[in-house]
Structure 1
Amino acid sequence: MNERMEFRPNQLQINICEKYGMAVLAPEVMVAVALQTLGQSPIYGSRVELPEGGTVSWFIHCGEYSKADDFYKPLHAHHLDEILPQVVSYLCLPTGAKFIIDTGEYEDVWMAE
């Protein structure tokens, strides 16, 4: 069963989806975050197709990416309000969406090829 966060998307989340012409899709309860990269810039997010039996479709890291097996850690999405609030507005982007934001006003959102 795909557990989606039980909330109605807020207006900021809807606005981001509309701005880029994308459908609104609530995220799963869990996300994957590279916790050791918090505080770095820019911030990257990628939403992949939820694998069968999977619980995570969002992968988020800051700064440089690593291919290390333990780079991402599972985290309840509601913790993002505390540790990475700037990504919360992007969580309703659909499967295949990617974003890059920085500590200034840079923002790029697109669909993966």
Structure 2
Amino acid sequence: MNQRSAVEELQRELCRRLPAEFFAAPPTCTLGIALNVRDGILPINGLRHPPSAGTSGWYIWAGEEFSTEADFFKPLHIEHLDGWAPEIKKYLGLPPGWRFLIAPGYEDIWFDEKLLRLDGE
């Protein structure tokens, strides 16, 4: 099994466990990622909005605080995630509306309906 197939199988297994419908995030799509993820800050947070125009809808950041600064998230193709935080790849098959928070020995995954509304209300 190649690496891509192995990652997709981990994603599908996670979706079955929750249960949630598998929703692919192709490696050529981008996600928004905060630079602090590369710094090893914990926990790592992720949330998925509906995808649009070549983006996966995923936003990933590290630490307790979420910044509203316009340049907090940088675009990154999913295929380049290994140099940042490869441990999050298994969560990227979750559909829009899902969130995760991970740290060593800790995992929380939940659905947040507000993520499906672009107005955030």
Question: What TM-score does the superposition give when structure 1 sets the normalisation length?
Answer: 0.84
Which residue of structure 2 aligns with residue 108 of structure 1? 108
Structure 2 match to 1:3: none
Q: Which 4+ residue blocks in structure 1 deviate beyond 3 angstroms?
A: none
Give the letter aligned to residue 17 of structure 2.
Answer: K
Q: Indicate yes or no: 2:40 matched with 1:22.
A: no
Question: CA–CA distance in 2 between the matches of 1:54 and 1:12?
Answer: 23
2:70 is the counterpart of 1:69: yes
Residue aligned with 2:51, SS: coil
SS in 2 for 1:13: helix
Residues 1-113 of structure 1 correspond to what in structure 2 (within 5 A)? 10-28=8-26, 29-38=29-38, 39-51=40-52, 53=53, 55-63=55-63, 64-102=65-103, 104-113=104-113
Structure 1 or 2: larger helix share?
Answer: 2
Coordinate RMSD, CA, aligned: 1.6
**Aligned-pair distance for 1:27?**
1.0
TM-score (norm 2): 0.78
Count of aligned pairs? 105
Amino acid at match of 1:69: A
Percent of residue pairs identical: 38
| Matched letter for residue 24 of structure 1 | F
Cα distance in 1 for residues equivalent to 2:86 and 2:100: 14
1:10-48 alpha-carbon deviations (Å, 9 max, x no partner): 221111111110011111511110013431000000000
Q: Secondary structure at the match of 1:10?
A: helix
